Structure 1
Amino acid sequence: SEYPRQVEALARQKLGKRRSSVFPVPCIEVLACRSYQEANLLHKQLTGAGLQKQSWFLFPKIKEVESFSIESSVKEAHPEVLFADVNGEPLSASKKTNQGITQRLGLLKQLDPDIYSLFTKTVSLYPRKICARDDIIDASILAITACHPEWRADGIDQHPDYSAEGHEMNMRTVKYIP
């Protein structure tokens, strides 16, 4: 399959100025590598492109999903794409800033009126060195839009590619359906 994936290009296009938040998912063959250097070298050989450090740090979670027997029901989504869907356009502030946190919490409150108390409780339970505030907010938008009755999920790519294993390579986008 092609690298980077078409779905990542579509997500970047949709996000405009926030496009840098979408980075390429590594090819599956590098998941068995034991070091970043080994994975980076193999990734260059297989795709012609080096492996981004952010991708390397996701390996444990990618492997965890790959190990699920229910993998076919796991859907890929990107928090910034979902926030853009809920907002009607990409957000202006980085999720790492106080303004960005406030923007995102405001959107989440539209979906779940209890989000402020949940966010405050979660932040108090997990110090930043264990879980960053923006990671809590990202997890919140993923969880809420996955099960919210008024937001219908669709694929960002209307003609998605499929992996060698037959899994759809697509990211979820959501639309408000009252």
Structure 2
Amino acid sequence: MSAFVRLARPSDLAPALALWTALHREHQALDPRYRLADDAAARWSTDFRDWTRSEGSRVWLALDAGRPVGLLTAHLYQPAPLYREHLLVHVADLYVMPEARGVGTGRALLDHARSWGRAEGAAQLQAGVLAANAAGRAFWARAGADDYSVTVTVGLGDAVDKGGARR
């Protein structure tokens, strides 16, 4: 399998959303604490249209024989003002369908984000990876990434929703 990577267009919403949905289904299966809002797909769809037209965002699709098999979304940003100013590329979503893994599809998507970041003058590329996603963590380690910040969680007992019902 050899994937071709190109920038997404607004008309690519349906296949991009299908890949994004698959990513989050995998995350939900890995950790029950990972739960999206009911309207997350609708919100992401609206953002996708903006990202495909924005100078500060990019969405790439990996295609194999014309079939979408991978997705990467990335955004330029500056860290909070209390940190030294420098431009970063944040990879918000990176997903490769299981049958397209291990053959360079993810690396090809990441290479596009790296090249774009360099051309824009970014100093770093960063991404968040679900702790339970061993394959994702291994991918990033092979790409030269290392831990910069780790988010920890502490359960507070029974959660209560906004209506006061126990979950």
What range is the shorter-chain TM-score in? under 0.3
More helix by share: 1
Q: Which has the higher contact order (CA 8 A, sep 6+)?
A: 1
Question: So what's the TM-score if we normalise by structure 1?
Answer: 0.25
More strand by share: 2
